[in-house]
Amino acid sequence: MSTQLYSYKFNNGGWKGAKRNDCVARAISIATEKPYDEICNGLLIWAREAKDLPNSKKVYKAFLHAHGWKWKPTMTIGSGCKVHLKTSELPKGRIICRVSKHLVAVIEGVIHDTYNPSRDETRCVYGYFYKEKLNDQKK
């Protein structure tokens, strides 16, 4: 029996409608636990500054970095696929995976999206954004 049933949960990031091409805002909203509209507005501001689209890699990468998220590549040109969109190959915690033409939130190994983009756990992950946990900072 496949474990796929347990590695996906429907989650639209709080958005009430069905909007196309909003995977960037949805994944960021889910992973950061921030309201969908707040993320959309933030991405729009960054997009205006960059003179680009809110869902462009340039914009969302800068947006996430500015909010303390780091990028971990899992694939390079010519390296072949090393990490797939499946629980056993991804780190624990809250991450945002970049796969072909899509961003998806993964929380504790469970895909959170409006559909399961894993392609039966064969979809290659190019890399993921993560936020390091800060140790107790006592001053």
Domain spans, the chain: 4-130
Return the amino acid letter for 77. I
What percent of the chain is modeled with pLDDT above 70?
Answer: 88
Distance from chain centroid for Cα 42: 16
pLDDT given for residue 19 in this prediction: 58
pLDDT given for residue 21 in this prediction: 66
Q: Which helix (H) or strand (E) holds 104?
A: strand 102-107
N- to C-terminal Cα separation, the chain: 51
Tens of pLDDT along 15-60?
776 556 689 999 999 999 999 999 999 999 999 999 999 999 999 9
Q: Are 106 and 113 in contact (CB under 8 A)?
A: no
Mean pLDDT score, 63-81:
95
Tokens 């921030």 belong to which residue?
A: 34
Shortest CA distance to 57 belongs to which of 67, 68, 71? 71
Report d(CA 118, CA 6) in Å as an integer.
Answer: 12
Mean pLDDT score, 71-97:
94
Burial label for 98, CB within 10 Å (0-12, 13-18, 19+), is buried
Which residues are CB-neighbours of 15 under 8 A, at least 6 positions away?
Answer: 22, 25, 26, 29, 36
